[in-house]
Amino acid sequence: MEFAVGVLIVAAGLIVSIALHEIGHLVPAKKFGVKVPQYMVGFGPTLWSKTVNGTEYGVKALPLGGFVRLVGMFPPARAGARVRTRRDGRPGMVEEARAAALEELGPGEEHRAFYRLSVPKKMVVMLGGPLMNLLIAAVLMGVVAVGLGIGQYTTTLGSVQQCVPEDPQATECTETDPVAPGAQAGLQPGDEIVTWGGTDVDSWEEISATIASGGTGPTQVEVIRDGEHETLTVAPTPHERPVVDDEGTPVRSDDGEIVTETRPYVGIGPTFELVRQPVTAVPGLVWDLFSRTVHIVVTLPERLVDVAEAAFGTAERDPGVVGLIGVGRFAGEIASIEGQGYGLAERSADMMGLIVSVNMALFVFNLVPLLPLDGGHIAGALWEGLRRRLAMWRHATDPGPVDTAKLLPATYVVIAFMLGMTVLLAYADIVRPVSLSG
């Protein structure tokens, strides 16, 4: 039951995000006088709709997106331009698109076509949607960071290993495994580490770095236990440990084996808890998420190849790219996690964090400068502005709006790619799902 509730919560969050994205387009378009016949959340058959001031607002059966229909997205062909026709004499694909884009303009409404807007106004309309997703991500990030806290490893020990396993991937001790340095020194779960080797430590990252650079000699460690300061002596031992990347994922060699390295080993692990952040930390958190999302989008073709190899073969699944089914699975897992220390605050933070990540992904992906994405229209507006500015400097004739209709063949290729990506991710999320528990 909890799993289904989690899915429904995130589904509702995504639908609201989509609705607000489209409002980001709708409001400035109507403000600038563009004719907007439809504002719809979802695709397929219409479940409900109401027309207000010439715009039909509605909800459709498939909540997989949404759209705002702006009249006049494509300009008419320039006078004297070559008009392509089919073999039977009917207008070609581009000309049909031009006609469809303008057919809802009544007499005297020519000024309400989108293509007649100035470049700055076109930019505002097309940026409105992605910026709404960015705003949602930033606001929810602030709520999570300031109100609930960001999950962080602390300087308080959550676990103390009892042995040094001979197998780097082993999870249980054997009789032949030597005692781990941390247990031998008397460290216990609940100890708060204050200094390590005479160095003050304020985070688990500082503890890890100090252990890594301190070698294997006896080291003085000061802890707070039951409110009292105690000093223990720990002698780390060299041990083969998996190499992990910045995201904590084990690094694998070309043949698929986990890469290991010898480094000082103590056998301790931190607690993980929500730590509230100051408001000033929110911009940095948003920027960090933006940077990581840009990296994923830039490397998306390569990642999709990896997903295909995992879905149709035996390769490891890339956890950084999932579809809507994968997002739903994450939500269900978050809602159904049971365990001490994982309460309503942690569940709420993780659920909102999931919606934050999706909105940031929508923001970044929609800025890709390819039609039919918002970024394609933004790129067209920028090119139009540049052409007009150059013409003005040369005292030449105004070249007019950019003829984005000519890009329709490429647009259909992008649409086919997006549909293929959606199907691939859905299939991979079913046959090779990514789980939060690994």
CB atoms inside a 10 Å sphere around CB 56? 15
C-alpha 256 chain-centroid distance: 27
Q: How confident is the model at residue 357 (pLDDT cuts 50, 70, 90)?
A: very high
Measured between alpha carbons, how far is 301 from 322 in angstroms, rounded to an integer?
Answer: 13
Largest separation between any pair of C-alpha atoms in the chain = 91
Evaluate whether 214 touches 264 at the Cβ level (below 8 Å).
yes
- The per-residue pLDDT for 317 is 82
Whether residue 399 has pLDDT greater than 70: yes
Q: Which residues 6+ apart lie within 8 Å of 314 measured at CB?
A: none
Whether residue 175 has pLDDT greater than 70: yes
Kindly report the CA angle at 103 between 98 and 104, in degrees rounded to 5?
Answer: 130
Coil/strand/helix, residue 105: coil
User: Could you write out the DSSP letters of every residue in 331-392?
Assistant: HHHHHH---TT--HHHHHHHHHHHHHHHHHHHHHHHTSSSTTSHHHHHHHHHHHHHHHHHHH
Burial 361-378 (b: 16+ CB within 10 A, else e): bbbbbbbbebbbbbbbbb
Q: How confident is the model at residue 155 (pLDDT cuts 50, 70, 90)?
A: confident
pLDDT per position as a tens digit, 214-272: 777 888 889 889 888 988 888 888 877 676 666 556 677 766 667 777 778 888 888 88
Q: Which residues 6+ apart lie within 8 Å of 34 measured at CB?
A: 70, 71, 72, 112, 113, 114, 117, 125
Q: Of 50-64, 166-180, 217-231, 400-414, give the lowest mean pLDDT range.
A: 166-180
Measured between alpha carbons, how far is 125 from 129 in angstroms, rounded to an integer?
Answer: 8
- The per-residue pLDDT for 85 is 61
Evaluate whether 197 touches 222 at the Cβ level (below 8 Å).
no
Measured between alpha carbons, how far is 9 from 60 in angstroms, rounded to an integer?
Answer: 19
- End-to-end alpha carbon distance in the chain: 22
Catalytic residues: 22
- The per-residue pLDDT for 110 is 86
pLDDT per position as a tens digit, 277-318: 999 999 999 999 999 999 999 999 999 998 998 889 887 787
Measured between alpha carbons, how far is 127 from 29 in angstroms, rounded to an integer?
Answer: 11
pLDDT per position as a tens digit, 187-216: 888 889 999 888 888 888 888 888 888 777
Tell me the average pLDDT of the chain: 85
Average pLDDT over residues 128-155: 93
Query: Which of the two residues, 409 and 261, has the higher pLDDT score?
Result: 409
Whether residue 53 has pLDDT greater than 70: yes
Measured between alpha carbons, how far is 234 from 210 in angstroms, rounded to an integer?
Answer: 13
* pLDDT more than 90, % of the chain: 37
How is residue 40 written in tokens?
Answer: 């719809």
What pTM does this model have? 0.82
Domains of the chain: 126-149+278-438 (no CATH), 151-275 (2.30.42.10)
- The per-residue pLDDT for 100 is 75
pLDDT per position as a tens digit, 420-438: 999 999 999 998 888 765 5
